[in-house]
Structure 1
Amino acid sequence: MRILIVEDDRVNVRVLTAMTKLKGHEVLTAWDGFQALKILEEEKVDLIFMDVNMPLMDGFETTRRIRKIPGMETVPIVAVTADNDAVKDERNISSGITDVVLKPYRVAKIDEIITKFTTSA
């Protein structure tokens, strides 16, 4: 499975990358929403972990723009955040987020998400 991690915090990227690579998945990294959009112009991915709170363009706006890319309408996009209230806001729910993972990351939850979207693909 090819996974795109969109996250501006280097420590969080290292942790999530290690968790996903440990299971044999290929990982691409974008440090902000604009870089994610650029990557997705050329690369196909099976799953996206999207940080909600990023500078320049937040994860919800990035998700809205990703959903407009042909072929990306149904790719699972999982919001990652420490702020559970942000993902409950109706404006953000309507962005196209598929699921949510709360920080700090837990191996069991990341495995559960990957398994969920591997078996539903």
Structure 2
Amino acid sequence: MSTSRSGRPCPNSRVTKLMPYCKQCMKNGDPSLRAVKHPRFGKILIATRDLPKGYYAAWWGKLCQKKKIPYKRMEWALETSKGMVDAVPYKGSLLKYCACPGVKVLSLRFQC
């Protein structure tokens, strides 16, 4: 699912069948995206190239019960019907920096 800055799909195999990223992309994030410092609001997600309409990126992290996530991490947690996805500990889960993810967010999670 991730692509290089030139737009080519990542040539490495996925970590698992359900995770659309290879080990390197999970560690550092999708090369087509980057979190940069915003002058007023901390970090914010930007594209490193023009992304085609319908480009997918995955919000992934640890699936936890809402009560087990520290309050200071709630700003970056994603609520799902199965629990909360805590992406904070994972540098490569870049969608936590997305200002307004918009219509579709693909969330992937690991069990606590």
TM-score range, shorter chain: under 0.3
* Structure whose alpha-carbon radius of gyration is higher: 2
Greater per-residue strand proportion: 2
Q: Which has the higher contact order (CA 8 A, sep 6+)?
A: 2
Greater per-residue helix proportion: 1
TM-score by length of 2: 0.27
